Structure 1
Amino acid sequence: MYNFSVRYHDGRLSIAHDATLTLMPDHWLIHYRDPSGELTSVRWALPGIVTDDNFSTLFIFRYGEFPQQTIECKEESLPETLKKRYPEKVFFKKRITNIFKLNNATITAVAFAVVILMGLGYWYGLPWLAGAVAARFPVSTEVQMGDTMYDNMIQAYDVDEHLTAATNDFVKSINFKTHYPIRVTVVKNADANAFALPGGRIVVFDGILRKMKTKEELAALLAHEVSHVHYRHSLRNIFRSLGGYLFLSLLLNDINGIVTVLADNSNMLANLTYSRELETEADSKAMAIFQADGLNLKGFVDLFTMLKNEHGDIGSLKLLSTHPLTEDRLQEAEKMAENQKPVKEDIGLERKWEAIEQALK
């Protein structure tokens, strides 16, 4: 018989299905009932099936591109049946069994070494892995994830619809040179704060808008946040901060599980701290946006100076604690502004800024 009971994961949802695996001559068929009760079949071509190596009695197979489909089988007769059914394909490598013949002291030493390696992998390897996964994350999935996180966290804020509409109209006049859909939400909060979500969502507190005097200051703030989105700084930071929670989801190629973890921790977004390296990279791209659009780089100097002047204790200002403002960044902005080529006056952008000022009254 070529039928086996298995557990099937489609790679997109975190749930598993009880299924039947049928071994066909050149492919596998997996039959299961979806949540609605409808009988569903999945076909795995034989060349694309990959075996997971492990030391347990659970046989695991993966198939397809990321996120991969997975089946798990506990039936001990499966390896022998596969060998007879597909003599030309090797599913299982020879397992290491000699380790279990070692004495207790050696086994203890090996176990200790494994624990140490796992700890090193967790503390040093996992942050790198999270960054690598973020860099390869599909843009469409990132946008969907950002929208899910936004829907989850925006409920804690009072959205100013009028200011939001005016600010998004302002955004349309600037070419941010990014393929992400930029959508800004202005919320009612006295803190001078703004932060970016993965996929193009940006949240701006009206407290910082009320401290601005020019359109260039707002453009500088938005260009900086867009740059964090464009370079996936928000995604990388979140993955690193929640690395332990995401580890199992990454191992299972469970995109839905990742989205769920992030959505459940959406409120931490306003307090994530960027490194100096990421801030410098965001500043560099933001200033390049200004130069390409002919905007006055003095907007960055005015924005940074305003924040310092308004708050003697810089560490207490959320924008500067999550986006640390160093003297180097301020000096670089002043240097770039001094050396900038002649700028053009954008009457349309000025009028849109005036509309924002009017909405603030």
Structure 2
Amino acid sequence: MQHFSARYHDGRRSIAHDATLTLRPDHWLIHYQDPSGELTSARWTLPGIVTDENFSDLFIFRYGSFPQQTIECKDRQLPAALTQHYPDRVFFKKGISRLFKLSNTAIAGMAVLVVALLGVAYWYGLPLLASAVASRVPVSAEVEMGDTMYENLLHGYDVDSTLTVKVNDFARSIDFKTRYPIRVTVVREKDANAFALPGGNIVVFDGILRKMKTKEELAALLAHEVSHVHYRHSLRNVLRSLGGYLFLSILLNDINGIVTVLADNSNALANLTYSRELETEADQKAMAIFQSEGLNIKGFVDLFTMLKGEHGDMTNLKLLSTHPLTEDRLRAAEAAVKGQRNVKEDAGLERKWEDIERGYHGDE
């Protein structure tokens, strides 16, 4: 007879017992102490024993009907002993059995390969999956999701109701060529920042308004954010980020982490970074809006230049961390300015911009 140290679960209580597993000709005998300290035993007949297949060095077996008994053993000699005692019975599939015989170096190499494959799936698979899922989400569901995020994150901000009304009035004067209901909220924050949520909510910090000099700069900022909404960039970012968190939480078996991510992530998800491709796509649509409305695309050049810090002492530019600004984007805006032929002055929009300027200069 051979004996192996193991951990035994009787299926009735959540606690595990230190136990000794003894291999008998037609059954297994498991000795352990119950909670009262009394030495007791469990008898498993061979036909009822089921192997829990896994790729670790922990051997798990189950027995009986629900709730099943379970025994766990880490002794690497167990597979060979089972083969010796029960030559007519297969406890492990061949692939699994061969894995147990591999050297530590080989197992480590396989582990590295698995991690690498998971990494590839994470970095390249998630964006594709997020894009595919986003394209199938109904607009109504996206708007509802965005509204929920908006309500959750707005608790952390001080809303400027007066500027919110004025900027929304300004935005309604522009046809953004989108099916989404665009709603702008201005909050009192000194950082130069703005972000779009899925479904049409756009949050603008008054810190960036105070640095603007023209109506075209504000129009460019809004058109860019609306374009992220229109192309569902915001939704794709949220889905990708949630997918990443869930991917890692599941990988680490961190159930609490999954719950936390789903319950408390609105602020983080509102400040996700867009890729260069998504920024370029949003710029192109935003400039097309300017072409259609007759707005001067130089507003993009001025906005980008201001964000680069060439117009004043620019600090805490969070917009640059979430909307990466590249020289290519600036050059593309400058080229679009040269090619524009239909610029027209919009006196009504100018008056609304001047009203916005009076609104934030009046409280300084």
User: Do the two structures share a fold, i.e. TM-score over 0.5?
Assistant: yes
Deviation, 1:225, is 0.5
Question: Which residue is 1:202 aligned to?
Answer: 202
Deviation, 1:217, is 1.0
1:301 and 2:311 correspond: no
Question: Which residue is 1:105 aligned to?
Answer: 101
Q: Give me the whole-angstrom Cα distance separating, in 1, the residues matched to 2:301 and 2:115.
A: 50
1:273 and 2:269 correspond: no
Q: Give me the whole-angstrom Cα distance separating, in 1, the residues matched to 2:157 and 2:342.
A: 41
Question: Which residue is 1:162 aligned to?
Answer: 162
Equivalent AA in structure 2 for residue 297 of structure 1: I
Equivalent AA in structure 1 for residue 231 of structure 2: Y
Structure 1 pair 262/312, CA: closer, same or farther in 2 (3 Å)? farther
Deviation, 1:126, is 2.9
Give deviations 1:190-236, integer Å, cap 9, x for gaps.
11111111111100011111111211111001000001111111122
Question: Which residue is 1:136 aligned to?
Answer: 136
Question: Which residue is 1:226 aligned to?
Answer: 226
- The sequence identity of aligned pairs, in percent, is 70
Question: Which residue is 2:192 aligned to?
Answer: 192
Question: Which residue is 1:242 aligned to?
Answer: 242
Structure 1 pair 115/218, CA: closer, same or farther in 2 (3 Å)? closer
Give deviations 1:37-76, integer Å, cap 9, x for gaps.
xxxxxxxxxxxxxxxxxx999xxxxxxxxxxxxxxxx99x
Give deviations 1:145-168, integer Å, cap 9, x for gaps.
111111110111100001001111
For this pair of structures, how many residues does the alignment match? 266
Q: Give me the whole-angstrom Cα distance separating, in 2, the residues matched to 1:234 and 1:244.
A: 15
Structure 1 pair 161/123, CA: closer, same or farther in 2 (3 Å)? same
Q: Give me the whole-angstrom Cα distance separating, in 2, the residues matched to 1:302 and 1:343.
A: 16
TM-score (norm 1): 0.64
Q: Is the 8 A contact 1:198 1:232 kept in 2?
A: yes
Equivalent AA in structure 1 for residue 346 of structure 2: D
Deviation, 1:119, is 5.0
Give deviations 1:253-311, integer Å, cap 9, x for gaps.
xxxxx998456111114532222111111110000000011111111112122223245
Q: Is the 8 A contact 1:301 1:333 kept in 2?
A: yes
Equivalent AA in structure 1 for residue 310 of structure 2: N
Q: Give me the whole-angstrom Cα distance separating, in 2, the residues matched to 1:262 and 1:145.
A: 12
Give deviations 1:130-178, integer Å, cap 9, x for gaps.
2322232222111111111111101111000010011111111100001
Structure 1 pair 294/249, CA: closer, same or farther in 2 (3 Å)? farther
TM-score (norm 2): 0.64
Deviation, 1:328, is 1.8
Structure 1 pair 102/204, CA: closer, same or farther in 2 (3 Å)? same
Deviation, 1:181, is 0.8
Structure 1 pair 358/116, CA: closer, same or farther in 2 (3 Å)? closer
Q: Give me the whole-angstrom Cα distance separating, in 2, the residues matched to 1:145 and 1:99.
A: 45
Question: Which residue is 1:323 aligned to?
Answer: 323
Structure 1 pair 117/174, CA: closer, same or farther in 2 (3 Å)? same
SS of the residue corresponding to residue 242 of structure 1 reads helix
- The structure number with the bigger radius of gyration is 2
Question: Which residue is 1:146 aligned to?
Answer: 146
SS of the residue corresponding to residue 310 of structure 2 reads helix
Give deviations 1:9-62, integer Å, cap 9, x for gaps.
xxxxxxxxxxxxxxxxxxxxxxxxxxxxxxxxxxxxxxxxxxxxxx999xxxxx
Structure 1 pair 137/164, CA: closer, same or farther in 2 (3 Å)? same
Equivalent AA in structure 2 for residue 301 of structure 1: V
Deviation, 1:246, is 3.8
Q: Give me the whole-angstrom Cα distance separating, in 2, the residues matched to 1:102 and 1:269.
A: 45
Unaligned runs of 5+ in 2: 1-50, 54-64, 67-92, 251-257
Deviation, 1:99, is 5.2
Equivalent AA in structure 1 for residue 172 of structure 2: K
SS of the residue corresponding to residue 137 of structure 1 reads coil
The higher relative CO (CA closer than 8 Å, separation ≥ 6) is in: 1
Q: Give me the whole-angstrom Cα distance separating, in 1, the residues matched to 2:333 and 2:115.
A: 48
Q: Give me the whole-angstrom Cα distance separating, in 1, the residues matched to 2:228 and 2:99.
A: 54
